[in-house]
A = this chain, B = another copy of it.
């Protein structure tokens, strides 16, 4: 059972100025030391003022209880059913290094690792080698490996021990088991086809791994490679085609830029900080009517368990809200892709707070932009995938359904 999809024929073209400000991992839970969530602890007069003029609520990225990765949660934010539009980890990694994928590409996330003389994994991250070493090894592998079936290899550094491997060839499938054993003291697993038609790809992967073992054998600590998250890119209907919105992505991190590119948003040049991002948006107001603006640090500090810095990041973003509002948007949404409570040091399933401000809002009585207040707001609790419907409605971009 998936969620109801917006009927195509109610979407109409027009001119709008819509800002979707996404504070990655914003949602939290009360930290026992402070007895507050990060949002409750932050001094954020501008967001609170905006909340007073908005309607607020909480959104479930996938469904209650489900902790989403960045892929599904962003697809939901962009109005794509995250259960239908799941993106493989390999593909996400390829997007994250700005790799231009084709429909013949089988991608996997790679870890350089250390194996002992018996071939057992002793460090799944090869002592976190530098990105420079990683890059040299990728080049060497790319130069030396020859794949069967005329397949082509691309291997690109992510950072430290992480890389992406792409196998390009006809008739490949993503249904291949991980070779990363996810533990030490055992050898890497053999890749195996998860259905008969995936055998060709699996053979190619096996050949790659055999050759890589030989090529890396003297490169201690990075003397092995582990693969996981095999995936092909599914083509998605473009954001413009679905919503008739000319959309621009303002994001610094490659993965979010890649996610936006996957649905054919235009990705603007990366900026140093949020001031520069707002300046950039200002110069592009005539070219686009939808701006997705991504803030990463709320999530990073959440993952690090750094409550105080996550609070500070919220406060910094809060201080930029007036410059954003000075651009006179028709619709402003502030929300998160998922929760990353710093006390949990990880993504979580808790619904994320959202505020939506527009002339046609039914303003509720929420006066603070935090998880607890928003849960009592006028939007209530809603699947995240429906947020785009609300955005379109308040931008005057949906016509009546039925007579």
Contacts and interface: CB of A to CB of B under 8 A. Distances in A.
Interface of A: 1-7, 10, 27-30, 37, 58, 62-73, 82-83, 86-89, 92-93, 109, 229, 341, 344, 347-350, 360-365, 371-372, 375-382, 386, 388-393, 398-403
Most buried by B among A28, A68, A349: A349
A390 B5 contact: no
Contacts of A87: 402-403
Copies of this protein in the assembly total 2
A347 B66 contact: no
14 contacts: A6-B63, A10-B66, A29-B362, A30-B363, A64-B382, A64-B386, A65-B390, A67-B393, A68-B401, A69-B401, A88-B403, A89-B403, A375-B377, A380-B381
Contacts of A27: 362
B4 A401 contact: no
Contacts of A402: 62, 68-69, 71-73, 82, 86-87
Contacts of A62: 4, 401-402
A87 to B, nearest CB: 7
Pairs of residues from A and B, 5 with the lowest C-beta to C-beta distance, nearest first = A65-B389, A380-B381, A89-B403, A69-B402, A72-B402
B380 A371 contact: no
A391 to B, nearest CB: 8
Nearest to A381: B380
Contact of A350 (B10, B89, B350, B362): B362
A392 B375 CA distance: 21
Given A37-B362, A62-B402, A67-B400, 5 more contacts: A27-B362, A62-B401, A64-B382, A64-B393, A71-B402
B68 A400 contact: yes
A253 to B, nearest CB: 14
A378 B372 contact: yes
A66 B390 CA distance: 8
A403 B7 contact: no
A372 B379 CA distance: 10
